[in-house]
Amino acid sequence: MPTITIVGVAAPAGASDAAAPAGASGAAAPLIVEARPGDSLFDAAARVSAGVDTACVGKGTCGLCRVKILAGAEHLNPYTDEERKHLGNVYHITKVRLSCRCRPTGDVTIEIVRKRSK
């Protein structure tokens, strides 16, 4: 099963599927979760309460569940129409995708991105 590493978030209390010991520098260690067959990045992150923003709970309609792909982009499905609608056609610059539209086939490292308020 693919391993999803989520950097830049604090491990929530009781996240049993995650391995997240405190770092020596006091910074949060990455959350690590195994993606189940058919899981999206959103599904895997939700299982460990990683704090991915959402209004549509993974249906691809709100555009809030943004993640930056730090490693393993080659293990994700191609960019989708929903992503193009919400994020534009700048993935090659930003490396930001919608977590609910990304289905991993191998190990991926992500960082949660918050949508900027206007």
pLDDT 10s digits, 18-29: 444 444 445 678
**Tokens representing 114?**
């918050």
pLDDT digits (tens, 9 = 90+) for 51-107: 999 999 999 999 999 999 999 999 999 999 999 999 999 999 999 999 999 999 999
Q: Could you give the 3-state DSSP secondary structure of residue 98?
A: strand
Residue 21: CB atoms within 10 Å: 9
Decide if 58 is inside a domain: yes
CATH number at residue 101: 3.10.20.30
Which domain covers residue 43, as residue numbers?
3-10+29-112
Q: Write the DSSP assignment of 37-68 as a string of letters.
A: TT--HHHHHHHTT-----SSSSSSSS---EEE
Decide if 19 is inside a domain: no
Count up the domains in the chain and report the number.
1
Decide if 24 is inside a domain: no
